[in-house]
Amino acid sequence: MNQLFDKKYPVTSSLLLLTTGVFLSMLLVRGFNYESVQTVYDFGGVLGAEIQVDPSQSWRLLAAMFVHIGLQHFVLNMVTLYFLGRIAEDLFGSKAFLVLYILSGLMGNLFVMTFSPEVVAAGASTALFGIFGAIASLRFIARSPYIQYLSQSYTSLILVNILFSFMPGISLAGHLGGLVGGGILAFVFPVYGERDSVKKTWRLGALLLYIAGATLLYAWALMS
């Protein structure tokens, strides 16, 4: 991390700076209460029960991926984003990586809203698990032996992280949702140099599957 903004990885750098800015704002505004549940909620944490009562709070489904609960949570996710983001930005390109990150985080937070509505949740891990899922899906898509090997190695890493997701204080729903979202979206955004590796009908089908899944989850949560 020898420079603040790496022009080779503009999206990864921007996400790191934005998320760090939010964390520092929490610290400056709330002091030692920066990691309290109330602070996390006030800065954009997801509380599904609140969104169910007041859908205008749905902005939290996007904002929550930039909010963290304590220093350890923040540092772990930012280190992961630094390394994983650069790999993904190389594989998918900057624009596609940004869309993958945001939509994976959104799907993860929709899972949180639907399956654990009473818990205030936040963190970049919903989006990061989506990137893990997207890279893991490449073993079924990519033609490059290197990318297939990389994808296979990430599959093992995902299994380990899912096991850790059962620990107290970690949102299993958010992680699984991000993983599902990213896994589907990998079929929509082929890697560089392999634009024809996925048929247009498959790409359209995957996009429609994501949209339908997100819409159904949101509607189901509001009707609960």
pLDDT tens readout for residues 175-189: 999 999 999 999 999
Residue 2 confidence (pLDDT): 52
Q: Tokens standing for 122?
A: 């936040």
Annotated catalytic, 125? yes
- Show the low-confidence residues of the chain (pLDDT under 50): 1
Three-point CA angle 9, 10, 11, nearest 5°: 95
Q: Name the phi and psi angles at 47, rounded to 5.
A: -130, 100
Q: Tokens standing for 148?
A: 């297939």
What is the rounded distance in angstroms from the CA atom of residue 42 to the CA atom of residue 144? 45
Residue 169 confidence (pLDDT): 67
140: DSSP letter: G
Residue 158 confidence (pLDDT): 79
Q: Are 161 and 77 in contact (CB under 8 A)?
A: no
Q: How far apart are the first and last CA of the chain?
A: 45
Domains of the chain and CATH, by start: 10-223 (1.20.1540.10)
Residue 171 confidence (pLDDT): 83
The one catalytic residue in 58, 125, 137, 151 is 125
For residue 204, give every residue at least 6 positions away whose Cβ sits within 8 Å of its Cβ, in sequence order, or none. none
47: DSSP letter: E
Annotated catalytic, 73? no
Residue 168 confidence (pLDDT): 66
Q: Tokens standing for 221?
A: 């949560």
What does pTM read for this prediction? 0.92
The one catalytic residue in 68, 104, 171, 175 is 175
